[in-house]
Each structure stands twice: as C-alpha cells, then as structure tokens.
Amino acid sequence: MPRLLSALSIVALAVALDQGIKRLVVDTMGLGEVIEVLPFLALFHARNEGIAFSMLDGFHGLGLAAISVVVLGFVGWLWWNTPADRKLTQFGFAIIVGGAIGNLIDRVSLGYVVDYILFHTPVWSFAVFNLADAFISVGAALILLDEFVLHRKKRDAEGGKTADS
C-alpha cells in the first residue's frame, strides 16, 4: 500500500504542476504571445490540436482522447507489471502517467492541449511543448536508462541472474 500511495502522490503532483502552470499561461498570456526568458528559451502560448509535436493535427479531439486513454492503459499495465525494486523505472512510469493525464485533461476539457515552452535560436526552433510533455519524455528516458544501463550493470554484477531475467 505505501508503494501505491507514493506512486499516486507522484502522479497527482505531476498533474497538479502541469495544470497549474497551464492555467497560469492561459490566464496571463494571450494566444500566440511570446515572452523571452533567455536568448534560447521563450514562453509561447500555443494550442496543440494534435498529439506529440502536433502529429495527427486536425484529427477529432475525442478520437485523440480515446487514443490517449488506450496508450495510458497500456503504460499503466507496463507499470503495474514492473518489479517494485526497479525504483527508477517506477518513478519514470509515475511521471509519464502524470504527464499523460495532464494532457488528457486539456484534450477532454478544451479540445486541444495548452503548450508554452519554446527552445529556439535565431535560425531554428524546437516544437512548442509543456511540462506534461517534459514529464513524458523524461520518464521515458529514465526507463530506458534503467533498463539498458543500470539494470544490465546490476544483472552483470550478479552474474547474469535477476528476478525478472
């Protein structure tokens, strides 16, 4: 039970941070407004009607929400079946789920996702994204790091045998 409460707390914190920042952006910035923070970083209020860097832009909002729910269910299943001792992977899944829920809330309630982070140079810019997207990306990177680097080192140090190999 403590593991579940800890995981749900991480998910809830990720959702709360994501939704709070999005509310702040919507309440204080006009759509398309840019606030330069650093020479390579700006706040840029945008709407993403697609998924993951605007893929499937123009697809019906409820259809994208349904796709999101299916993917969230699959990620939840993977998370549930991950051994408890894989703490970095457990954390990665928690922030992925929190980010996915944050974007799903936008998609269902608004019909689009609020984006606001823009990395750029004078000649190049990255896709506009939000904290939920960052949680999803960082969570995926943590899982990959744990699976392909840390867990393999541990398994090799133990002579190639672990509980889940």
Q: What is the pLDDT of residue 132?
A: 96
The C-alpha atoms of residue 49 and residue 41 are separated, in whole angstroms, by 22
Q: What is the pLDDT of residue 24?
A: 97
* CA-angle at 71, arms to 138 and 12, nearest 5°: 55
Please tell me which residue, 78 or 55, carries the higher pLDDT value: 78
The four Cα atoms 80, 56, 131, 40 give a dihedral, to 10 degrees, of 140
Which of 18, 106, 133, 146 is catalytic? The answer is: 133
Mean pLDDT of 79-84: 88
Does the pLDDT of residue 12 top 90, yes or no?
yes
pLDDT tier at 63, thresholds 50, 70, 90: confident
Does the pLDDT of residue 62 top 80, yes or no?
no
- Which of 82-86, 124-128, 146-150 has the weakest average pLDDT? 146-150
Beta bridge partners of 38: 41
Report the side by side order of strands in the sheet with 34-38.
34-38, 41-48, 113-119
pLDDT tier at 50, thresholds 50, 70, 90: confident
57 is known as an active-site residue: no
146 is known as an active-site residue: no
Mean pLDDT of 9-22: 97
Please tell me which residue, 164 or 97, carries the higher pLDDT value: 97
Does the pLDDT of residue 156 top 70, yes or no?
no
For the chain, the distance separating the N- and C-terminal CA atoms, rounded to the nearest angstrom, is 26
The C-alpha atoms of residue 99 and residue 139 are separated, in whole angstroms, by 9
Beta bridge partners of 115: 46
Which of 115, 146, 156, 164 is catalytic? The answer is: 115
The pTM assigned to this predicted structure is 0.83
Does the pLDDT of residue 111 top 90, yes or no?
no
Number of helical (H) and strand (E) elements in the chain, helices listed first? 5, 3
